[in-house]
Each structure stands twice: as structure tokens, then as C-alpha cells.
Amino acid sequence: MGVVRAKERPDRRQAVQDKEGKWSYQRTWLVVVDSTGDGANVVLSAPDLPKLRYGYQTANERNDDAIVVRRTPRQLRKTKYHYEVDIEYETRSPEEQERNPLLRATKFLGWDYQVRCVPVSGTLKTTVVITPATTAPYKRPARNSLHQVFPTQPMRERYDGVGTWEQNREAIAFSGAWCQEWTDVVNEDDFQGAEPGQLRLVVRAGAETRETVDDEEIVYVPVQFVIEYKADGHKERILDEGPMYRTSTSSTALRSFVDENGRPYVGLLDGKGRPLQCNPGFETSTFSTHSSTVLGVFLLEEPHRQKTFAELNLF
């Protein structure tokens, strides 16, 4: 279930400027869904649809003082999958916006740290600036003096910065599915000074709330956006190792790592399945293209879904 496409109908645009110079605009979108069970909350979740508090902008003109104040979906006659959504913009002062719970500015609730106990991956280099794209941040992996796995995995405490923001959302466009869609995702865009991959989001929501403004009852849900910041990104750097190796990238034959006494051990690989020269018995090996000074290769894995955080219109 979801939105198939959303596209503006430019022939339906309207605009009015009153005697005080304030502008109001109306635009209409055609939204197509793929299930007869989809309703207003699915329609209003269309990614290309302007959200509340968005400023007026088209390809050729812009008015940041006129913001989206109302979004009205309606199902077209003689169809189960097509909706029109009227998007209304009005010039609103900060005081007017504050009166309406759906137009209030996003509130910053505070900054804290989340402490986690995580495995020690290795010894960090002192000469490298670690970013989400850094694949080799360690001088060496966490191994004993024989380059073997410790009997017990070394652990450490890690402090991740956590900021929390609160914003009211339309009750008609709110759902648990929307919360889940935006939970445990990382940013694929530059967002509030952070690089792609440095932020991970969790969404929490309060109870449905009602307020009356100018004789109109407004129903909304207060939503908290908890954003976890991690300078080196939320990808996992996993040491490339295993009990077997291959002698070349084209080889399909696998061999076991064994020490001088014929006992198997977990060896270090070069990112392409070949043994590093730091492994016992491989000091003069030329299987890998890495030099003998390389003591470990880390694979960069992305375990999270990625989304464009700018879509949330938090700031």
C-alpha cells in the first residue's frame, strides 16, 4: 500500500494579494495510490507533496513568507485510486503561526549523550579525520601479539550525542506506519551541518491533541524526533577475517589457515578473500597486493535504511 505518484496540476494555480500586501496561494496535486484501502494519511504522505509550514515555491518564483496552512485531500468521483489535494498557502506572522498548533515552529528539547558498550575494533590512527566514508581508520585491529582473536572480546563505552526536537503533525496524516518508516534510518543528505550517514533517527509520538483556534478545532499529534549523531557514521566497520582464504581473486578453491603445528586459526583477509602477510606463516606471501605493514582490512557495511531528512521540514 502506498503512493504510486504525485504531480501538480499547474493549470489549477490561484493567487490573491489583499490590500495589505499579504499573499495567499492555492495549488492542486493529483495523487495516485495503489490500494482501495489507502486513505488521507497515505495520500498526504506523498514525498513530493508540500508539507505544512513549507514556503511557497515553484520553478520560477518563491515567497517564504507565505507558508502551507492547509492540505485538503479528496477522492475523485468514479475512481478508487485517484485523489486531488488542495495545498493552501497564506502569509502568516510569527504570532499568527504560534496560535495554530500545526504552524508552530519546531521546538528544540535538548541535547544529551547515549552511552553504549561496544566492541573495540582497533587502535585509531592519530593522523586521520574519520568520516562516514573512512574505510581504514585503525592502525591495527584488536588482536593479541600473535595476531589472533582474544578469548574474550574487548569492550569499551561509546558516547553518542543525541538531540531531540518536537513538532506537531496533522492527525489525519499521522500513522504508526509513518513513524516506523522514519525510525532507525540514517540521513542520505547533508542535514544541519552533518554529513550523509552521520545521523540516525528515531520517531516517538504523544497522544492525539485538540485545540480550538478561531472557532476551528485542530487535531494534531506531538511528534518527537530523536536524532543520534555519530561522527564516523552509522555504517559498521567489520574486520575482514575468517578460517579460510583464497590465493587470488579469480580462484574458487579455498584453503584453511593453519599454524606451524597444523592447527587451524582465524586469519586476516585483505578485503578480497586473500591472506594478509601479517598472518602467521604468510610473512613472505605475495597472495595479497597489500604491503606487510597492513595489519587488518575493515569492510564498510550499511545496515540501516537511508532517507532524505530534509523531507521532514524540521527547521
Q: What is the DSSP string of 115-177?
A: EEEEE--EEEPSS----TT-S--EEEES--TTS---SS--EEEEEEEEEEEEEEEEGGG--HH
pLDDT above 70 for 271: yes
What is the distance between the alpha carbons of residues 315 and 307, in angstroms, rounded to a whole number? 17
**Contact (Cβ atoms closer than 8 angstroms) between residue 101 and residue 214:** no
Q: What is the pLDDT at residue 179?
A: 92
Q: What is the pLDDT at residue 314?
A: 85
Q: Among the listed ranges 77-81, 247-251, 267-271, which one has the minimum average pLDDT value?
A: 77-81
**Contact (Cβ atoms closer than 8 angstroms) between residue 54 and residue 33:** no
pLDDT above 90 for 306: yes
CA atoms within 13 A on the CB side of 77: 0
Q: Which amino acid does the sequence have at 59? A: A
Q: Which amino acid does the sequence have at 175? A: S
What is the distance between the alpha carbons of residues 38 and 140, in angstroms, rounded to a whole number? 53
Decide: helix, strand or coil at residue 94: helix
* Grid coordinates of 189: 543528505
Q: What is the pLDDT at residue 48?
A: 85
Q: What is the pLDDT at residue 1?
A: 59
Q: What is the mean pLDDT of residues 198-220?
A: 93
Q: What is the mean pLDDT of residues 22-46?
A: 90
pLDDT above 90 for 258: yes
**Contact (Cβ atoms closer than 8 angstroms) between residue 291 and residue 82:** no
pLDDT above 80 for 267: yes
Rg of the chain's alpha carbons, rounded to an integer? 27
pTM attached to this predicted model: 0.79
Q: Among the listed ranges 11-20, 92-101, 221-230, 241-250, which one has the minimum average pLDDT value?
A: 92-101
Q: What is the mean pLDDT of residues 176-198?
A: 93
Q: What is the mean pLDDT of residues 138-145?
A: 87
* Grid coordinates of 131: 568520516
What is the distance between the alpha carbons of residues 253 and 121, in angstroms, rounded to a whole number? 29
* Grid coordinates of 117: 558498550
Q: What is the pLDDT at residue 4?
A: 86
Q: Which amino acid does the sequence have at 78? A: K
Mean of per-residue pLDDT scores for the chain? 91
Q: Which residues sit opposite 237 in a β-bridge?
A: 300
CA atoms within 13 A on the CB side of 262: 0
Q: What is the pLDDT at residue 172?
A: 86
Cα dihedral 150, 156, 161, 167 in deg (nearest 10): 70
Q: What is the pLDDT at residue 285?
A: 86
Q: What is the mean pLDDT of residues 66-80?
A: 92
pLDDT above 90 for 38: no
Minimal CA–CA distance to 203: which of 92, 59, 314, 81?
314
pLDDT above 90 for 27: yes
In this prediction, residue 144 has a pLDDT band, given cuts at 50, 70 and 90, of confident
DSSP secondary structure letter of residue 180: H
pLDDT above 90 for 135: no
Q: What is the pLDDT at residue 39?
A: 83
DSSP secondary structure letter of residue 245: E
Task: Categorise residue 110: left if φ over 0, alpha if ψ from -120 to 50, beta otherwise.
Answer: left
* Grid coordinates of 146: 600473535
**Contact (Cβ atoms closer than 8 angstroms) between residue 10 and residue 18:** no
Q: What are phi and psi of 144, to 5 degrees?
A: -80, -175
How much of the chain exceeds pLDDT 90, in percent?
Answer: 65
